[in-house]
């Protein structure tokens, strides 16, 4: 599904497509991609609204699973810790936040698997 009917956010399929495109850009431009997974927020709708309003417009906020959201961010340097910290400030301490940063050399499924483990 391209867009999630509950949140209005991009759905899982669109997230995967955007992740793949971001990884290609990272590989060809020498940039980085950070994927942040936010699991079990108290209110998925509130978290989705807060993230869309509080993050840069070029970040993708998507519904990842039933009780999980994802944020996809492209950046020039560093790791995902500042992005994860900003997300924590926006959604609070109750959700679990997992993230990974890639230079584009890792396939999309491995990026997701790594984010899920961290």
**pLDDT digit string, tens, across residues 38-86:** 986 678 999 999 999 999 999 999 999 988 999 999 999 989 999 999 9
Question: Residue 97: CA atoms inside 13 Å, Cβ hemisphere, count?
Answer: 20
Q: Of the spans 23-27, 39-43, 94-98, which averages the highest pLDDT?
A: 23-27
Please tell me the pTM assigned to this model: 0.94
State the CATH architecture for 12-117.
Answer: 2-Layer Sandwich (3.30)
CB 31 within 8 A of CB 62: no
CB 48 within 8 A of CB 4: no
- In order of 13, 50, 61, 74, 94, the CA distances from 16 in angstroms are 5, 22, 12, 14, 26
């Amino acid at each position: 599904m391209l867009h999630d009917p509950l949140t209005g956010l991009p759905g899982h399929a669109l997230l995967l497509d955007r992740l793949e495109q971001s990884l290609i850009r990272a590989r060809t431009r020498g940039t980085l991609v950070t994927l942040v997974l936010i699991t079990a927020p108290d209110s998925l709708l509130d978290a989705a609204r807060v993230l869309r309003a509080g993050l840069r417009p070029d970040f993708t906020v998507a519904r990842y699973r039933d009780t999980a959201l994802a944020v996809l961010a492209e950046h020039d340097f560093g790791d995902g810790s500042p992005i994860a910290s900003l997300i924590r400030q926006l959604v609070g301490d109750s959700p679990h936040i997992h993230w990974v940063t890639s230079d584009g050399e890792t396939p999309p499924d491995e990026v997701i698997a790594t984010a899920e483990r961290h």
